[in-house]
Amino acid sequence: MVEANPGNPLLLGNYAKFLKEIRGDYSRAEEYCGRAILANLDDGNLLAVYADLIWHNQNDIQRAKSYFEQAVKTAPND
């Protein structure tokens, strides 16, 4: 499904969440989440998930913080 719609941010984001939450595959989840963000920079929830993945996978607190801040700016009411 993802291969048939490689630019669909909703599908990529949902697959990233599935990989993270169900499969526990944080590395691939980060990859798909990054692709989803490139397809849609205005999804605050997805930016927050990506920040969490960066924090978890790379222990890069500064980079994760910048994505969390971007998520808050993008969707302040979520």
Q: Give, for all 78 residues of the chain, the pLDDT tens digit.
A: 677 777 899 999 999 999 999 999 999 999 999 999 999 999 999 999 999 999 999 999 999 999 999 999 999 887
Cα–Cα distances (Å) from 60 to 18, 20, 42, in that order, read: 22, 18, 22
Its pTM stands at 0.88
Name the one residue in this structure whose structure tokens are 């990989």: 19
In this structure, CATH architecture of domain 9-74: Alpha Horseshoe (1.25)
